[in-house]
A and B are shown apart, each in its own frame.
Chain A
Amino acid sequence: GAVVSQHPSRVICKSGTSVKIECRSLDFQATTMFWYRQFPKQSLMLMATSNEGSKATYEQGVEKDKFLINHASLTLSTLTVTSAHPEDSSFYICSARGLADGELFFGEGSRLTVL
């Protein structure tokens, strides 16, 4: 199956700094990628849809200026958490949609801890 790689898997940062998380589709071109946030023992919350070459579409309640998404190529989308605060600590997961039937291919996830 298709492979999506996410980096870094873990990151610890100080409050007020910015953190960038990368999501790459390794063996297929993904015009659309999705970014999720997952709190402990909860389901995935869709944050935004990342579209190659255009602006991301954010879900209601997600701050665009806090969570910057860039999809500059068909194989790479990035999520930057700006001016991170402890409440931004979470598990962030990206996915890319397959062409045929809506199957999603997920990255390994990135655990962000903001001190």
Chain B
Amino acid sequence: AQSVTQLGSHVSVSEGALVLLRCNYSSSVPPYLFWYVQYPNQGLQLLLKYTTGATLVKGINGFEAEFKKSETSFHLTKPSAHMSDAAEYFCAVSPTGGFKTIFGAGTRLFVKA
């Protein structure tokens, strides 16, 4: 069985500060891992994904995430927060070659001026 845990339902940072959104997963098979962003009243947009290969993956809008198998983590980071980064972020896992995607509960990011 697979599951995703996002630590912190709300994260608040100052503009220009480091963004760190935490995600831990459990999977009985090698996982594919995703981060999605959702702006109010919109669908989800892919930020980045890990499937195979390099464990540090870069995505859009300056975000990146590192797959750490030993820690079963896939934390999302951005060196310098921008006001436009304020949104809901979802970590998701899907088994290699598998079908269903499991979403975390989401973390709402607030960016203070």
Where the two chains meet, the residues of A that have a C-beta atom closer than 8 Å to any C-beta of B are: 1, 4, 6, 9, 32, 34, 41-44, 46, 49, 91, 93, 95, 97, 101-109, 111
- C-alpha spacing A49/B92, complex, angstroms: 17
From residue 13 to 52 of chain B, which have CB atoms closer than 8 A to chain A?
32, 34, 36, 41-46, 49, 51
Residues of chain B contacted by A103 (CB below 8 angstroms): 34, 46, 49
Not counting A104-B34, A106-B45, a sample of 7 additional A-B residue pairs whose C-beta atoms are within 8 angstroms of each other reads: A34-B101, A43-B103, A43-B106, A104-B101, A108-B42, A108-B43, A109-B42
- Which B residues are in CB contact (< 8 Å) with A91? 41
Q: Is the beta-carbon distance between B51 and A101 smaller than 8 angstroms? A: yes
Identify the B interface with A (CB < 8 A).
32, 34, 36, 41-46, 49, 51, 90, 92, 94, 98-101, 103-106, 108
CA distance A103 to B100 in the complex (A): 11
The 9 closest A-B pairs by CB, nearest first: A106-B43, A102-B94, A106-B44, A101-B51, A109-B43, A43-B105, A108-B43, A102-B32, A43-B106
Q: List 6 A-B contacts (CB under 8 A).
A: A6-B43, A43-B103, A43-B105, A101-B51, A102-B98, A103-B34
CB distance from B22 to the nearest CB of A (A): 15
> Bound state CA distance, A107 and B41, in angstroms?
11
- B50 (CB) vs chain A CBs: closest residue: A101
